[in-house]
């Protein structure tokens, strides 16, 4: 839920990331409010993944001031790591481990206690209706389940923020819809969601969206406001208009 | 610590659930050792030869008998003319032909000089060389026995081969195989398992987690230290029980040096995985860049001393060379630590160098 008066949980000021002479992120500045679902949109190669990697601590910015969860990304990386979750477009789970072993492993590296792990994985299986799959290898379960598993694992330690990098790639529309229900639920529980996607229909589900074009933020607001400002019927149209500006 | 333990347990699951990994880990060392020990030997027994005796006298008969009773040779055929020589070689039936010139005994008696020709099949140069040497040995022995009555003075060489009295090839293969297999398991397996996490994308998840990069790396390589260590023991035990290769020196020192070598190979594996992100490239790099030099340039099969000087310098950059020197020194000669300080220091240096380089590469990648 977006509340303008809520505290800023992510603050980005003048983020620049260069690879040689190529500028992937060109002076990005934005804030994400606590508890909102923040959509980070853009075409392939617009610089979304670069930015999300910097926010997660997988990569250093060239310059800029960044705070994540109230911590400075240069000096307080370790504290940030404890407070964020991350899910990549690859649904990174271990194929040769069972569902439960994956949960236990990821929960374990966040230092969760054994009884807590048992309890949470039981709840999780029940919620995902996967009780019978507890001891199945990940490689033997359907892609949709893998995706839900990957998300559940990313928030198993109750992080303040969860970063989702193209979390719905390669799954069918029904599964995508179900997946967004999980995102809403996490958001209800107070987890801030930072999600990148290039499906414009998903943009409608976000509290606010930013649209990146060529390493810059071309627009940032609620979907309703953006549609109004650009005189568009859908987020898809908004995006096309922005992209066309860039071409011209 | 608990997190680390969970990590190691997960790593063992990966290893034990992949039967191919298991095969490589435990069957490969045993099979390789048995193969090298039994199949590839430098000792030659029962080489087939042909004899063309143009003299057919008492002396040539006695020499032929000596040759055939030596245990090294079996008579394939008695030739009757020199035109047959080429033919038997072409057929590949014989590896060596012995030709006695006509009037052998007569010439020997009158002029003191009789001629015998030894023709080897040099399409296999090593074997030909060894066989020719055997025959020459037998001939000179015979000559000595002839002259024994005539010449009062004699030089009798008494040869003793230290540390490997029977000149068994397997004494050479056990240290060499240890160097090769420990390198294979440690470097190849770790680089594969780390690049696999990169390919799966799980590495990103681990890096986002509170685990520190060095914890991730140590967690990944720890199981392989353990398994490589078991392999080292398997090789030593098979070498000892099946082939009788002794461990004259201190077993603890031998294990310590193996441990150091394993660490060196692991750090090399880590380095490989920091510069590549796909399993295939990691595999190619490990096999081509590590296995070939280990086999060819470490003194395992081909003596370094016989190589061109430039290549000898290159060989000095091969860590397995030092390990082979160390294990030979401990296993066969029973030397203590003071004899191998230099080699140990070099291996430790290599390890430190690879680790530093990996850390540097790792940081560059993260930036």
Contact between B2 and A95 using a beta-carbon 8 Å cutoff: no
Q: Is B365 on the interface with A (CB under 8 A)?
A: no
DSSP code at position B255: H
pLDDT digits (tens, 9 = 90+) for B78-91: 999 988 888 888 88
pLDDT digits (tens, 9 = 90+) for B120-136: 988 888 788 888 988 99
Q: Residue A120: inside a domain, yes or no? A: yes
Q: Which two tokens stand for residue B105?
A: 């005994």
What is the Cα–Cα distance from A138 to B14, expressed in whole angstroms?
13
Contact between A111 and B13 using a beta-carbon 8 Å cutoff: no
Contact between B208 and A108 using a beta-carbon 8 Å cutoff: no
Domains held by chain A: number: 1
pLDDT score of B40 = 65
CB crowding B319-357: b at 16 or more within 10 Å, else e: bbbbbbbbbbbbbbeebeeebbeebbebbeebbeebbeb
Q: Which range has the worst mean pLDDT, B97-106, B189-198, B296-305, B310-319? A: B296-305
Q: Which two tokens stand for residue B214?
A: 């060095």
Is residue B118 pLDDT above 80, yes or no? Answer: yes
Q: Residue A3: inside a domain, yes or no? A: no
Contact between A109 and B204 using a beta-carbon 8 Å cutoff: no
Exposed/middle/buried for B259, CB within 10 Å: 0-12, 13-18, 19+?
Answer: middle
Q: Residue A2: inside a domain, yes or no? A: no
pLDDT score of B364 = 62
Question: Which residues of chain A register pLDDT less than 50?
Answer: none
Give the length of chain A: 248
Give the length of chain B: 367
Which chain B positions have a beta carbon within 8 Å of A60's beta carbon?
A: 366-367
What is the Cα–Cα distance from B60 to B49, expressed in whole angstroms?
15
What chain B holds in terms of domains, given with CATH numbers, is: 2-40+168-366 (no CATH), 47-147 (3.40.1710.10)
Contact between B202 and A81 using a beta-carbon 8 Å cutoff: no
Report whether B44 contacts A128 (CB < 8 A): no
The residue segments making up the domain with residue A147 are: 8-247
pLDDT digits (tens, 9 = 90+) for B177-191: 888 888 888 888 889
Contact between A88 and B13 using a beta-carbon 8 Å cutoff: no
Q: Residue A237: inside a domain, yes or no? A: yes
pLDDT digits (tens, 9 = 90+) for A52-70: 999 998 888 999 999 999 9
Identify the closest residue of chain B to A91 by CA–CA distance.
Answer: B201
Contact between B210 and A94 using a beta-carbon 8 Å cutoff: no
Q: CA B122, B123, B124: angle at the middle one, nearest 5?
A: 80
Query: Would you list the DSSP string of B128-147?
Result: HHHHHHHHHHHHHHHHHHHH
Which chain A positions have a beta carbon within 8 Å of B367's beta carbon?
A: 59-60
Place of tokens 């060819």: B296
Work out the pLDDT band at B41, boundaries 50, 70, 90. Answer: low
Identify the closest residue of chain B to A96 by CA–CA distance.
Answer: B14
Is residue B140 pLDDT above 90, yes or no? Answer: no
Q: Residue A1: inside a domain, yes or no? A: no
Select from B11, B14, B204 the residue whose CB has the most chain A CBs within 10 Å, as the one to mutate to test that interface: B204
User: How many Cβ pairs within 8 Å bridge chains A and B?
Assistant: 71
A100 to chain B, closest Cα gap in Å: 12
Kindly list the residues of chain A whose beta carbon comes within 8 Å of any beta carbon in chain B: 56-60, 78, 81-82, 84-86, 88-97, 101, 104-106, 108-111, 154
Which chain B positions have a beta carbon within 8 Å of A96's beta carbon?
A: 13-14, 17-18
Q: Please, which residues have CB within 8 angstroms of residue A190's CB and are 6 or more apart in sequence?
A: A34, A35
Identify the closest residue of chain A to B9 by CA–CA distance.
Answer: A105
Report whether A234 contacts A202 (CB < 8 A): no
pLDDT digits (tens, 9 = 90+) for A15-54: 999 998 899 999 999 999 999 999 999 887 788 889 999 9
Give me the CATH number covering residue A114: 3.40.50.300
């Amino acid at each position: 839920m977006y509340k303008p008066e809520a505290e800023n949980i992510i603050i980005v000021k003048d983020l620049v990331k260069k690879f040689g002479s190529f500028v992937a992120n060109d002076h990005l500045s934005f804030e994400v409010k606590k508890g909102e679902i923040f959509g980070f949109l853009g075409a392939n190669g617009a610089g979304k993944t670069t930015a999300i990697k910097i926010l997660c601590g997988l990569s250093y910015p060239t310059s800029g001031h960044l705070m994540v969860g109230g911590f400075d990304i240069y000096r307080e990386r370790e504290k940030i790591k404890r407070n964020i979750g991350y899910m990549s477009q690859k649904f990174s789970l271990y194929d040769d481990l069972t569902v439960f072993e994956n949960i236990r492993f990821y929960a374990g590296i966040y230092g969760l206690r054994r009884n807590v792990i048992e309890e949470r994985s039981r709840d999780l299986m029940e919620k995902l209706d996967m009780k019978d799959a507890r001891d199945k290898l990940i490689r033997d379960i359907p892609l949709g389940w893998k995706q839900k598993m990957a998300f559940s694992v990313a928030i198993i330690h109750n992080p303040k923020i969860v970063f989702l990098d193209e979390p719905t790639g390669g799954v069918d529309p029904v599964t995508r819809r179900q997946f967004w229900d999980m995102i809403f639920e996490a958001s209800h529980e107070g987890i801030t969601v930072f999600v990148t996607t290039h499906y414009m229909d998903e943009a409608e589900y976000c509290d606010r969206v930013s649209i990146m074009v060529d390493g810059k933020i071309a627009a940032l607001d609620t979907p309703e406001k953006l549609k109004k400002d650009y005189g568009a019927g859908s987020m898809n149209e908004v995006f096309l208009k922005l992209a066309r500006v860039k071409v011209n | 610590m608990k997190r680390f333990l969970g990590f190691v347990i997960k790593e063992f699951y990966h290893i034990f659930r992949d039967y191919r990994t298991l095969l490589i880990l435990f069957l490969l060392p045993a099979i390789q050792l048995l193969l090298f020990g039994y199949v590839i030997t430098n000792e030659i027994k029962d080489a087939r030869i042909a004899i063309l005796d143009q003299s057919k006298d008492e002396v040539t008969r006695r020499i032929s008998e000596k040759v055939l009773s030596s245990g090294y040779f079996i008579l394939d055929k008695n030739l009757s003319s020199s035109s047959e020589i080429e033919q038997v070689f072409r057929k590949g039936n014989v590896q060596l032909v012995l030709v006695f010139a006509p009037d052998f005994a007569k010439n020997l008696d009158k002029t003191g000089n009789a001629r015998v020709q030894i023709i080897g099949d040099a399409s296999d140069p090593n074997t030909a060389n060894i066989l020719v040497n055997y025959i020459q040995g037998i001939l000179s022995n015979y000559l000595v026995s002839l002259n024994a009555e005539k010449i009062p003075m004699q030089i009798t060489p008494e040869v003793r081969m230290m540390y490997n009295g029977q000149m068994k090839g397997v004494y050479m293969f056990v240290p060499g195989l240890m160097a090769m297999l420990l390198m294979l398991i440690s470097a190849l397996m770790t680089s594969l398992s780390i690049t696999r996490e990169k390919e799966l994308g799980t590495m990103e998840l681990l890096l986002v987690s509170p685990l520190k990069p060095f914890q991730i790396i140590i967690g990944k390589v720890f199981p392989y230290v353990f398994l490589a260590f078991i392999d080292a023991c398997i090789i030593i035990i098979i070498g000892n029980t099946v082939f009788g290769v002794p461990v004259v020196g201190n077993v603890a020192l031998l294990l310590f040096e193996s441990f150091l070598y394993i660490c060196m190979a692991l750090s090399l594996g880590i380095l490989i995985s920091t510069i590549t992100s796909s399993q295939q490239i990691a595999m190619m790099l490990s096999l081509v860049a590590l296995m070939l030099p280990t086999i060819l340039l470490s003194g395992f099969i081909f003596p370094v001393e016989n190589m061109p000087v430039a290549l000898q310098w290159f060989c000095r950059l091969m860590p397995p060379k030092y390990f082979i020197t160390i294990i030979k020194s401990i296993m066969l000669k029973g030397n203590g630590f003071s004899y191998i300080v230099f080699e140990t220091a070099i291996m430790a240096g290599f390890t430190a160098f690879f680790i530093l380089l990996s850390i540097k590469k790792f940081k560059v990648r993260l930036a």
